[in-house]
Structure 1
Amino acid sequence: MKAYNTHWMGLMLVVAAIVIGPQLTNNGFYLKIMFMIGVNYLAAAGLNVLVGHTGQKSLGHAGLFAVGAYTVAVLTARHGWNPWVAFLAAGVVAALFGALIALPALRVKGPALAMVTIGFGIVAEKVVAEWQDVFGGQAGIYGVVPPTWGSQSLDDRDWVWLVSALCIVTHLMLRSLLNGKYGRAFMAVNTAEVAAESVGVSVYRIKVIAFVISAVTCGFAGALIAQQNQFISSDFITFNMSIFFLLIVLFGGSSVYGPLLGAVVLTLLDNFLARWPHVQHFTYGALLLFALYAMPDGLSAWLRSIAVRIFPGLARHPALPSALSPWRLHANEALEANRPLLEAKGLYKAYGGVVPTNDVDLTLRTGHVHSLIGPNGAGKTTLLNILSGVVEPDRGTIRFNGTDVVGMSINGVARLGLARTFQNLRLFVDMTVLDNVKVGLHRHMEAGFWSCLFGSRLSARSEIQATEEALQILGFLGLADKAYERAGSLPYGVQRRVEIARALATHPRLLLLDEPAAGLNPHETRDLVDVIARIRDLGITVLLIEHHMDLVMRISDHVIVLDYGQKIAEGKPAEIQSNPRVIAAYLGTEDETDDANDVVTGATHG
């Protein structure tokens, strides 16, 4: 509540400055700088969602700026549209192009995605420069119609107030969006895409949303420039513009306030250096290197760290509730006990001459703890990846709760009620423990995109309910006191448990645990046995991959053994302990059963 009040007090001060500031000067140059700060903020605010939060690299947003600018120019100057309607249309058309650019985002990432966006920016620049009949070529389009207040044309002050109003609305909407389920989803995709998919977040949908948001704000920025100048030409649309927008985001930082800080500093610097154009690019490059070295999280994070040192109260978290209700699985997720939940037949996967999964059949029954064991290289994790949709088998069928899931996306499988952890931890390390678990609750939260964007009551209520349930899950695993700690800063064993908490938040019918005891000390391993038993008692079926044989034999109802990609045995733990094929697989020779039991029942086998 204190942070909420501080935000609104700060916003009121900003509004007062915006109202009063333009009235303190008649200098058109100064008013133009204020206007450009607003335009640059608009372009960078959406780009910050794409780059700073979702981690998608874009160097072609000058092309989206051009889409907005030329849309409003063509519609008003050539077709006589109302300038306000044309302005809104510029955002819509830019959104369509943003969705178009997002199409390759599922297949390429990092530098390759940056090259795609560069290509779009270059194509856009060439099209408007060469297509004279539509876009006026290099001569551009004159007579772009600006908006009016009634019958009054906007003067320099009015333009500052108009862009400022748009900036405030944009800030409030993006703040609401980024502080909710979509903000966590953006950061989850940025950190670990497969982990985000595994809890039911559609990575591709999130990327498309981020691209569209960045396109809309950039399109509006372009439309404002065209209408304020009443002219647009290809001279406005350069690769340097894309670099400048990106620099604002990187320099300002990924905080919701970062684009504002970056826009203010770099717009002022840009105008100061305009008299020395030969040093502009050098200065920008040096500034970017300095920012990345001295302020890797941007100016906003650097200023916050200083503020926290001066006012420690800014870093305080809400008090944890004194008592938490017991966490329970959703009633509609519970299934009748001891019936087939997952049935796989003839699963086969080959990588060249290596066959980690070779015609494997298995059946997992509800309410049981199943364990998948075998020597290193037996194909256990590959099989787990196939079952969870991470890897598609070359042949074979998988039916989960009556649904064929072969070829289904990872998030599609997760939405059916299959959750998992990973052999190599895939936490969202820069998020708090609480937010990691709330990402797991993503698909269960009622609020949709528009509700979150506009900060509706439904969105607020969903956040409160998600926080309460996430704390219940953490309490179930003995982690409530870690709720506000950064996940990546915790000890390894605690991180393992946080990953289980995130998986439980999806309300799974089947939980796949890939070596959950790896790296745990004996005490933590004993605690893990109790955790798995309590998860089973909730009505969740468990499939466990584990090398700690004492854990496997203590907790399992049913054990499946793989060797060189083939299932060589299955049955109750006691049957597996004395199975000659299992003994041979673990020892490499058929020695005496008593010797084999030392391995199969002994603590750990790597």
Structure 2
Amino acid sequence: MSRARRPVPSAPAAGAPAAPPRLGGRHTLAVTGIALVAAAAASMAGNDYHLRVLFMVTVHLMCALGMNVLVGYAGQKSLGQAGLFAAGAYTAALLTARHGWSPWLALLAAGVVAGLCGALIALASLRAKGPYLAMVTLAFGTMIEKLVSEWDELFGGAAGIFGIGPLAFGGRPLTHLQWVWFGIALCALTHLLLHNLLQGRIGRALLSLQADEIAAGSVGIGVYRSKVLAFVIAAVTCGIAGAMVAQQNQYINSDFISFNLSIFILLLVLFGGAGSTLGPLLGALLLTLVDAFLAQWPSAQHFVYGALLLFALYLMPQGMAGILARFRPRRPRRPQTVAPTDMPAGMPAPRCGDAGPLLTVSRVCKAYGGVQPAQDLSLELRHGHIYALIGPNGAGKSTMLNMLTGVVTPDKGTITFCGQAIAGAQGHAICALGIGRTFQNLRLFGALSVLDNVMTGRHSRMTNGFCASLLGLPGARRQEQTARARALAILQFVGLAAQAGLPAGSLPYGLQRRVELARAIAGEPALLLLDEPAAGLNPQETVELGKLLVKVRALGITLLMVEHHMDLVMSISDHVIVLDYGVKIAEGRPHDIQRNPRVIEAYLGTEEESAA
């Protein structure tokens, strides 16, 4: 018989602290204050050259704000930003000089066209990783540079395009000072929008990609879709920056587009501090001044930028923002506490009826050359039980879990969860259906806090999308508060509430195992797959883990556990399935499995094998 799901509260019990005060208003005031100070300082600039330098600071800051999302959050290196800069610049040029568009509409169109180009680059290049990704994006930038320099009929070739419509206010083109003011206002608005986006669900998703893509997929994050989003954001800001330069100069040619520009945009983020709030501003301000200084020695620019790039990568990995952070006084960490509770908040009702099987695996096969970790394998799981999948090393246990979660695609056979076929589906889609997992080798997001790890586990259960997060709408804020409250309740449930604010990678190994379990529970799974959860634990920690897993089962969650600790398996399992070389050789209750001759033979061997 299946076990009834015990009712749980939908929010922390009375007495739990309220969500922390929202810092968005304070941050908005700070950014507004900095923008006003910068605008006032620009008003005191001595000449047009100084205003031109300040304007280029805002242009470079626009590029850096988007590039920070791609490099600092998603962890993707691109050397093709000059091509996206060109896409925005030439879009504004063609629409105003040759088609009579309003310069304001042309500026918006530049961002749209650059964003589309960024999506195309991402779709074509994200199958590659590391240096190969950088090479693909470099090829795009080089192709665009050649295109605009040699297609005379459309882009004007080396001569370029003249008569580009400038932004105007009240029928008069913006002055140099007004361009600086416009750039400051646009950068401040872009920063605030991206801050809204990156401080919540989407920001955590992007950071998880940088840490571990497989783990990100297992908690419901669409890895490929998130990477494309990061590329598009970086492309849109670069395209708008390119349009600003073209419209302010009222002229553009291929000299503005070079490989040097791509290196410079990447350097803005790495030198300033990738992933930090101040990094883009520091990089844009300092490197624009360096660029203005080096303008009198053009031949030295490539050498200096290359040297700064190596310096930032190897000697200053946290950038200027990281150096400044060392001198900032540390505030004492406030402990995260919740009222005592036995259950995590908001566990869902079962996603499919209790009458039928929860999971059915039918005649599944998987082979790697001559090795067959799954041979015509079938099994069935029902609601509310703890299942153990055991067998000698190499029996195919982890391969089975990987096939159930989309990491590995079976060669043939069917896998059905709650009546839906999931064989070959992507990991994030399987998680959304209600299958969570942990890994044999820990796959935590080590640089994120324990609380953020668990909140990342709730990604598939949150519905605030891109626009709501970008604009910081009340619905998105409520979802963040609910996710935080539930994550804290889950940490209380697993005994980690006191460690909520610590980096997950700094905890002892046994506690890291619990963080991974808490992250999986946060996804509200109907079926939880555990790949050797007791690996590396001492006997006392193993006993405590067993008690915790029984509590998890009491929530109505079905567990399938791959484990070598037979004491743990036999003490908590309701049903045991035994594999040997990819073949199911036995299944049944624990005490029956212990006496099964085929199981004893698989683990201990026959007398003839022992004699040999």
**TM-score of the two chains, using structure 1 as the length reference:** 0.94
Aligned position for 1:255: 276
**Aligned with residue 449 of structure 1, among 460, 466, 475:** 466
Is the CA contact 2:454–2:518 (under 8 Å) kept in the aligned structure 1? yes
**Shift of residue 106, structure 1, vs aligned partner:** 4.3
| Mapping 1:91-106, distance limit 5 Å | 91-106=111-126
**Shift of residue 48, structure 1, vs aligned partner:** 0.9
Aligned position for 1:600: none
**Shift of residue 111, structure 1, vs aligned partner:** 1.3
Deviation string, structure 1 residues 88-119 (Cα, Å, up to 9, x no partner):
00011111111111113442211111111111
Deviation string, structure 1 residues 561-594 (Cα, Å, up to 9, x no partner):
1111111111110111001110011012259xxx
| Mapping 1:35-434, distance limit 5 Å | 35-253=55-273, 254-307=275-328, 311-313=329-331, 316-317=333-334, 319-322=336-339, 326-328=343-345, 330-333=347-350, 336-337=353-354, 339-434=356-451
Aligned position for 2:480: 463
Aligned position for 2:39: 19
Distance in 2 separating the partners of 1:81 and 1:284? 37
With 317-326 and 136-145 compared, the bigger mean Cα shift is at 317-326
Is the CA contact 1:451–1:458 (under 8 Å) kept in the aligned structure 2? yes
Distance in 1 separating the partners of 2:322 and 2:30? 17
Q: 1:271 to 1:318 in 2, by over 3 A?
A: farther
**Shift of residue 224, structure 1, vs aligned partner:** 0.2
With 194-203 and 267-276 compared, the bigger mean Cα shift is at 267-276
Distance in 2 separating the partners of 1:66 and 1:494? 50
**Shift of residue 18, structure 1, vs aligned partner:** 2.2
Higher helix share goes to which structure? 1
What is the root-mean-square deviation of aligned Cα atoms in Å? 1.8
**Aligned with residue 553 of structure 1, among 570, 581, 584:** 570
Structure 2 unaligned spans of 5+ = 1-20
Distance in 1 separating the partners of 2:109 and 2:388? 57
Aligned position for 2:17: none
Query: Counterpart of 2:486 in structure 1: which amino acid?
Result: E
Secondary structure at the aligned position of 2:567 is classed as helix
Aligned position for 1:487: 504
Distance in 2 separating the partners of 1:121 and 1:585? 58
Is the CA contact 1:580–1:590 (under 8 Å) kept in the aligned structure 2? no
Deviation string, structure 1 residues 425-468 (Cα, Å, up to 9, x no partner):
11001100100011111121232111110111111111111110
Distance in 1 separating the partners of 2:243 and 2:334? 41
Query: Counterpart of 2:76 in structure 1: which amino acid?
Result: Q
Secondary structure at the aligned position of 2:349 is classed as helix
Query: Counterpart of 1:445 in structure 2: which amino acid?
Result: M
Distance in 1 separating the partners of 2:158 and 2:308? 32
Q: 1:104 to 1:531 in 2, by over 3 A?
A: farther
* Pair 1:506 & 2:523 matched: yes
| Mapping 1:27-38, distance limit 5 Å | 27-38=47-58
Distance in 1 separating the partners of 2:350 and 2:251? 59
Query: Counterpart of 1:342 in structure 2: which amino acid?
Result: L
Aligned length: 589
Greater relative contact order (Cα < 8 A, sep 6+): 2
With 335-344 and 406-415 compared, the bigger mean Cα shift is at 335-344
Is the CA contact 1:159–1:228 (under 8 Å) kept in the aligned structure 2? yes
Deviation string, structure 1 residues 361-385 (Cα, Å, up to 9, x no partner):
1001111101000011111101111
Is the CA contact 1:104–1:113 (under 8 Å) kept in the aligned structure 2? no
Structure 1 unaligned spans of 5+ = 596-606
Q: 1:317 to 1:245 in 2, by over 3 A?
A: farther
Query: Counterpart of 2:327 in structure 1: which amino acid?
Result: I
Secondary structure at the aligned position of 2:295 is classed as helix
Aligned position for 2:554: 537
**Shift of residue 44, structure 1, vs aligned partner:** 1.2
Q: 1:449 to 1:325 in 2, by over 3 A?
A: farther
Distance in 2 separating the partners of 1:443 and 1:418? 11
Secondary structure at the aligned position of 2:364 is classed as strand
Query: Counterpart of 2:123 in structure 1: which amino acid?
Result: L
Query: Counterpart of 1:180 in structure 2: which amino acid?
Result: G
* Pair 1:521 & 2:538 matched: yes
Secondary structure at the aligned position of 1:138 is classed as coil
Is the CA contact 1:335–1:366 (under 8 Å) kept in the aligned structure 2? no
Distance in 1 separating the partners of 2:564 and 2:253? 66
Q: 1:529 to 1:324 in 2, by over 3 A?
A: closer
Is the CA contact 1:452–1:459 (under 8 Å) kept in the aligned structure 2? yes
Aligned position for 1:601: none
* Pair 1:10 & 2:30 matched: yes
